Structure 1
Amino acid sequence: MESGASGIPYNRKQKGAAAEAAAVYYLSSQGYIIVERNWRCRSGEIDIIAEHEGSLIFVEVRSRSGTLRQGTPEESVNGRKIQQVRNMALIYLHMTGQEERRILFDVIAVWLQEDLSVASMTHIRGAF
């Protein structure tokens, strides 16, 4: 069982925050400029919005810990999630007056260890 210093298991929100923090650190180290984190609208939330090489990148961060029983983080990006992120990106572009921007959709898959440190990370550029 995964738990923090108090012995209480880490919850989903804590795991997600750890994975997103690791993804932001990684992207920044690769020259990405982080524009937004956890951008919300009625349709949901976009984990990270970044700029890189003239493009606006919408990044979906997915994480797993423990066993493969639930599948890989990448496998959790299903058709419904792809459509939701695409729709939110259109809303963001409209709200910020950037409809003409070149955009990409990336996925960062993070495997977390019990202490929420990163076991591995995969960056899938242009994932969908």
Structure 2
Amino acid sequence: MNNPLTRKQLGNVGEGLAWKYLEGLHYEIIEKNWRCRTGEIDLIVKDGSFLVFVEVRTRSGSPQFGTPQESVNAKKQQQVMETAQFYVHRYQKQQLQLRFDVISILTTKTGEQVSLDHLVNAF
């Protein structure tokens, strides 16, 4: 596989890498790409008493245009928090503490992992 990945393929690769990473930490994986009218959450996992909403950002090549986590701006954070509240209400998860993490992944143009940074309680 020597062709550069499309943006969608790169996103899928990144989410797969993040999923494996979180499984390795023994997080309980609950949802992947959960959608509702307010938006989408890449990964929803459980870490002890925390319900964790994970935004996964993947970029290929050099981070010359900023790191992946820098692209999670205030508007995106607000959208993720609104979507998380919708999820909590729909599935009656009010007893759990909420946390918002960002997993930032850099890959080669063909999708090989270069780095993975996990920002716990990112916003």
TM bracket, shorter-chain basis: over 0.9
Offset at 1:58?
Answer: 0.3
Offset at 1:70?
Answer: 2.4
1:59 matched to 2:51: no
The superposition leaves residues 13-56 of structure 1 with CA deviations (integer Å, 9 ceiling, x where unpaired) of 10000000000000000010100000001111100000011110
Using the size of structure 2 for normalisation, the TM-score is 0.95
Q: Which runs of 4+ in 1 moved over 6 A?
A: none
Equivalent in the alignment of 2:99: 104
* Structure number, greater radius of gyration: 1
- AA of the residue aligned to 1:34: I
- AA of the residue aligned to 1:61: V
- Unaligned 5+ segments in structure 2 are none
1:20 to 6, 15, 36: 15
Q: Summarize the alignment of residues 26-105 of structure 1 with structure 2, pairs less than 5 Å apart.
A: 26-105=21-100
The CA RMSD over aligned residues, in Å, is 1.1
Using the size of structure 1 for normalisation, the TM-score is 0.91
Aligned length: 123
The superposition leaves residues 60-105 of structure 1 with CA deviations (integer Å, 9 ceiling, x where unpaired) of 0001111323211010010000000000000000110112321100
Equivalent in the alignment of 2:113: 118
Q: Name the SS for the 1:15 alignment partner.
A: helix
Offset at 1:117?
Answer: 1.4
Q: Name the SS for the 1:68 alignment partner.
A: coil
